[in-house]
Amino acid sequence: MKSKFTDKDAKLYISKFAKKGVPKDLALRIYTTQLLGNDPTVVLHGGGNTSVKSSIKTLLGKVEKVIYVKGSGKDMGDIEEDGFPALEMENLLKMRTLKNLDDFQMVNYQRKYMLDTSFPNASVETLLHAFLPHKFVDHSHSNAILSLIDQPNPEKFCKKVFGDEMGIVPYIMPGFELAKKASEVFEQNTSVKGLILLNHGIFTFADDAKESYLRMIRYITKAERELSKNSKTLVVKKYSEKKISISSAANIIRQQISNQVNDDFERKIVHFYKPQFFEEIFSHKNYKIFTQQGPVTPDHVIRIKSKPLVIDLTKEKITNIEKTIVKAVQKYKEDYKKYFNRNSKYNPSATMLDPYPRLILIKGMGIFSTGPSFKDAKIAMDVGLNSLSVILEASKYGTFKSIPEKEIFRMEYWPLELAKVKISSQKLKGQVAVITGGLGGIGYATAKKFQKEIWFSWLPNSNGVSILVNNMRGINASYDQFGNFLSYLDVGEEYELNFHKFQIIEFIPITGLQIKLDPGITAIYFGFGLLMLSIFLSYRSFSQIWLNKEKNTIFVGGKTNRAQLSFEKEILYIIL
């Protein structure tokens, strides 16, 4: 992994945020946080967290020592100063003397010690950051680190790769207990440059933003090199499932995972993608075991549940395909109910969540992700791809091992973790709209309206290729006339689809069509001509004068449509 830190960019961030009144320490914290957050192999969708210890002058004029910590659920990739609530360090450190502190008390006290309660809640790992003495602390769920430590004997591998440079913290659910344990491990050897949290992730720290970031890069790179050097190479067995199309499989899945609510259905969206490493999964002799072990890090369970549904249709007759998929989905549902009942004693107040799978792997086809909206399905796919790649690499390196089932359940039904998942308020969530003429005036306006409620529109063309557009700036997926995924398309890049090369230059919100012939256009133009003529004539002055003689008297009269006073003077001038 290569560092993206540059002194030039760091100075630009300091200058940029100084205009907003943001201190230098926090500006640098924002910079390195974004560097980590924009690498999907390091953190994903609200995962990871960072902090910086500083001081601030309160309204009463007192200089207060504070810690700026990433807000819970905030995305590190685009976080700014409003994503870092400041908390009173003195009071946070006093909490370490407590023997016990439940989750709700912890969150309540953290909020109490915030300097500005309009900010989001601080991360659930705030106390861990506070209890470490370093100015800058970075935490991520690096793929390489997780592949190395999600093993039956992780301490052995950590010692081999990191030596005494990293402290090793056993798995403990995030919160007060983990914060105390991590600080105790650090105090056993204060010369360590970071901490490895087994089945969780990595922490690095320093008194300098750049050094803390570089340490994260350094130890992730060490893990990457170890995996590259000592992982087994798989003989990839290629297989393509031809007995059912992707679109048909997606429709069956969507039908099965939709919950009936009274007289209606709570529908969901199904998203499809086939990563490059997909065939490697099914080429591994133990894929049926390692795919069912559990999540690579506890944070993932709220997005993709503890395990995917894996379906193998290779030996099924074409007439049994649909029945097999239906049976597999329903079995997953029943197994999930049993899992909930087995573990509900660890959280008696928990109400069972949606029992259907978030990830479905079909051999020879690809991965289907599901969610109440396209955004949720896309997040599930991103997290799922990340998770599956870690599991595969861990299995090639050694033997993948997740946390115990009861710990998975505790994490999945942990209120502080569930709070990160925002429930969609879309009225039409789970629905799909097909909009023809989607780039025409009316069609485009309709598509924009539906995008706010449905998240995507289906824009077909006449060449047997369809493009699924998330938004006018996003990544676009192309499918053939049979619904089979072809590739993702980015603006400016050249692609070959159906043996034709083409390039998406830009999105233009118009159809580009012009009317070439309209039989009624002549009559319309004639009417416009008459209208213009009448307007022109209405501005011309038109006058009439009459003379009428009766006996010895001559009567003079006149009429005009404009300038009546001038017309009256002209008549008098003629007569007199």
| Cβ neighbours for 319, distance < 8 A, ≥ 6 positions apart | none
Handedness of CA 340, 346, 351, 356 (dihedral sign): negative
DSSP string, 109-168: HHHHTBS-TTSPPBPTTHHHHHHS--SEEEEE--HHHHHHHSSSSHHHHHHHHHTTSEEE
DSSP string, 321-349: HHHHHHHHHHHHHHHHHHHHHHHGGGSTT
User: What's the CA angle centered on 281, arms 480 and 2, to 5 degrees?
Assistant: 90
Backbone angles phi, psi at 277, to 5 degrees: -85, 5
Count of beta carbons in the 10 Å neighbourhood of residue 34 = 19
DSSP string, 193-208: SEEEETTTEEEEEESS
CB-based contact 435:447 (threshold 8 Å): yes
The amino acid occupying position 358 is R
Longest dimension (CA), the chain: 137
Element (H, E) at 496: strand 494-497
Cα–Cα dist 8/12, whole Å: 6
Cα–Cα dist 85/76, whole Å: 14
CB-based contact 445:453 (threshold 8 Å): no
Cα–Cα dist 249/309, whole Å: 14
Name the nearest CA neighbour of 40 among 444, 475, 449, 530.
475
Q: What is the DSSP letter of 54?
A: E
Task: Kindly give the pairing relationship between strand 500-503 and strand 553-560.
Answer: unpaired
**Whole-number pLDDT of residue 512:** 42
Q: Provide the residue-wise pLDDT of the chain in tens; the chain has 576 residues.
A: 899 999 999 999 999 999 999 999 999 999 999 999 999 899 877 789 999 999 998 888 888 999 999 998 788 999 999 999 999 999 999 999 999 999 889 999 999 999 998 998 999 999 999 999 999 999 999 999 999 999 999 999 999 999 999 999 999 999 999 999 999 999 999 999 999 999 999 999 999 999 999 999 999 999 999 999 999 999 998 899 999 988 899 989 998 998 777 766 778 889 999 999 999 999 999 999 999 999 998 888 989 999 999 999 999 999 999 999 999 999 999 999 999 999 999 999 999 999 999 999 999 999 999 988 888 888 999 999 999 999 999 999 999 999 999 999 999 998 887 777 666 666 666 666 666 665 566 766 776 676 666 544 444 444 455 555 555 445 566 665 555 666 666 666 666 654 455 666 555 544 444 455 566 777 888 888 888 888 877 777 677 888 788 877 888 888 887 777 777 887 777 777
Name the nearest CA neighbour of 412 among 304, 289, 268, 309.
304
**Would you say how long the chain is, in residues?**
576
**Whole-number pLDDT of residue 266:** 79
b/e code 421-460 from CB counts within 10 Å (16+ = b): eeebebeebbebbebeebbbeebbebbeebbeebbbbbbb
CB-based contact 193:138 (threshold 8 Å): no
Task: Kindly give the pairing relationship between strand 166-169 and strand 553-560.
Answer: unpaired
**Whole-number pLDDT of residue 428:** 64
Count of beta carbons in the 10 Å neighbourhood of residue 150 = 29
Cα–Cα dist 174/238, whole Å: 41
**Whole-number pLDDT of residue 446:** 73
Q: What is the DSSP letter of 211?
A: H
Give Cα 341 to chain centroid, integer Å: 32
CB-based contact 54:68 (threshold 8 Å): yes
Q: Please, which residues bridge with residue 168 across strands?
A: 196
**Whole-number pLDDT of residue 459:** 45
Backbone angles phi, psi at 56, to 5 degrees: -145, 150
Count of beta carbons in the 10 Å neighbourhood of residue 128 = 28
Binning the chain into helix, strand and coil, the percentages to the nearest 5 are 40, 20, 40
Cα–Cα dist 399/147, whole Å: 10
**Whole-number pLDDT of residue 466:** 54
